Chain A
Amino acid sequence: QLQLQESGPGLVKPSETLSLTCTVSNGSISSSNYYWGWIRQPPGKGLEWIGSMYYSGGTYYNPSLKSRVIISVDTSKNHFSLKLSSVTAADTAVYYCARHKGVFIVGRHWFDPWGQGTLVTVSS
Chain B
Amino acid sequence: QSVLTQPPSVSAAPGQKVTISCSGSSSNIVNSYVSWYQQLPGTAPKLLIYDNNKRPSGIPDRFSGSKSGTSATLGITGLQTGDEADYYCATWDSSLGDVVFGGGTKLTVL
Residues of A at under 8 Å CB distance from B? Answer: 39, 46-49, 62-64, 96, 101-102, 104, 106-117
A108 to B94, CA, bound (A): 11
Residues of B at under 8 Å CB distance from A? Answer: 2, 28, 31-33, 35, 37, 43-47, 50-51, 56, 88, 90-92, 94, 96-104
Nearest residue, chain A, Cβ from B44:
A114
Contact A107 B92 (CB under 8 A): yes
Q: Offer 28 A-B interface pairs, CB within 8 angstroms, sorted by A.
A: A39-B45, A46-B88, A46-B101, A46-B103, A46-B104, A47-B45, A47-B90, A47-B101, A48-B101, A49-B90, A49-B98, A62-B99, A63-B97, A101-B50, A104-B92, A106-B32, A107-B32, A107-B33, A109-B33, A109-B35, A109-B90, A111-B45, A111-B90, A112-B46, A112-B47, A114-B45, A115-B44, A117-B44
Chain A interface main SS type: strand
The residue in A64, A96, A114, A117 that gathers the most chain B C-beta atoms within 10 A of its C-beta is A114
Contact B56 A112 (CB under 8 A): yes
Nearest residue, chain B, Cβ from A103:
B33
Known A46-B104, A63-B96; contact A108-B47, beta-carbon cutoff 8 A? no
Contact B44 A110 (CB under 8 A): no
Contact B101 A108 (CB under 8 A): no
Give the Cβ gap from B28 to chain A, nearest Cβ, in Å. 8
